[in-house]
Amino acid sequence: MKEIILLTISGEDKPGVTSTITSILAGFQVNILDIGQAVIHNTLSLGILIEVPQVSESSPILRDLLFKTHAMDMKVRFQPIGEDEYEQWVAGQGKPRHIITLLARKITAEHIAAVAEIAARHDLNIDKITRLSGRLSLQEEIQPHTKACVEFSVRGAFADTSLLQEEFLRAANDLDVDIAFQEDNIFRRTRRLVVFDMDSTLIEAEVIDELAKEAGVGEQVAAITEAAMRGELDFNESFRRRVALLKGLDASVLESVAQRLPLTEGAENLVSNLKALGFKTAILSGGFTYFAEKLQKQLGFDYVYANQLDICEGVVTGEVVGDIVNGNRKAELLREIAEREGVRLEQTIAVGDGANDLPMLSIAGLGIAFRAKPLVRQSAKQAISTLGLDGILYLIGFRDRDSIL
Among 37, 61, 91, identify where a domain stops. Answer: 91
Respond yes or no: is residue 184 known to be catalytic. Answer: no
Tens digit of pLDDT for each residue in 340-381? 999 999 999 999 998 899 999 999 999 999 999 888 888 898
Q: Is residue 232 part of a domain?
A: no
Whether residue 364 sits in one domain with residue 271: yes
The single residue of 73, 84, 199, 402 carrying the catalytic annotation is 199
Pairing of strands 193-196, 348-352: parallel
Q: Is residue 257 part of a domain?
A: no
CA distance 120 to 154: 10
Whether residue 75 sits in one domain with residue 99: no
Q: Is residue 199 part of a domain?
A: yes
**316: CATH:** 3.40.50.1000
Q: Is residue 242 part of a domain?
A: no
Whether residue 135 sits in one domain with residue 273: no
286 and 209 in contact (C-beta within 8 Å)?
Answer: no
**155: CATH:** 3.30.70.260
Whether residue 87 sits in one domain with residue 101: no
| Structural domain total, the chain | 3
For position 56, what pLDDT does the model report? Answer: 66
CA 364 to each of CA 351, 357, 385: distance values in angstroms, whole numbers, following the listed order:
9, 11, 19
Whether residue 389 sits in one domain with residue 271: yes
CA 264 to each of CA 142, 271, 368, 389: distance values in angstroms, whole numbers, following the listed order:
20, 12, 15, 7
Q: Which of 202, 228, 227, 224 has the alpha carbon at shortest distance from 212?
A: 224
Whether residue 114 sits in one domain with residue 11: no
- Sequence letter at residue 347: Q
CA 316 to each of CA 11, 212, 243: distance values in angstroms, whole numbers, following the listed order:
71, 12, 9
For position 231, what pLDDT does the model report? Answer: 61
**Residue 30 lies in domain:** 3-91
CA distance 114 to 123: 15
Among 114, 149, 183, identify where a domain stops. Answer: 183
Among 50, 65, 91, identify where a domain stops. Answer: 91
Whether residue 156 sits in one domain with residue 30: no
Q: Given its phi and psi angles, is residue 131 left (phi above 0), alpha (psi -120 to 50 degrees) or beta?
A: beta
What is the b/e burial string over 28-40, where b = at least 16 CB atoms within 10 angstroms of the residue's CB? bebeebeeeeeee
Whether residue 113 sits in one domain with residue 77: no
For position 309, what pLDDT does the model report? Answer: 95
Whether residue 160 sits in one domain with residue 294: no
Whether residue 66 sits in one domain with residue 151: no
Whether residue 112 sits in one domain with residue 81: no
The single residue of 178, 197, 357, 390 carrying the catalytic annotation is 197
Q: Is residue 225 part of a domain?
A: no
CA distance 38 to 164: 29
Strand, helix or coil for residue 304: strand
CA distance 337 to 363: 13
CA distance 88 to 209: 61
Rounded to two decimals, what is the model's pTM? 0.87
Whether residue 100 sits in one domain with residue 67: no
Respond yes or no: is residue 199 known to be catalytic. Answer: yes
**pLDDT less than 70: residues of the chain:** 1, 55-56, 92-94, 140-143, 229-231
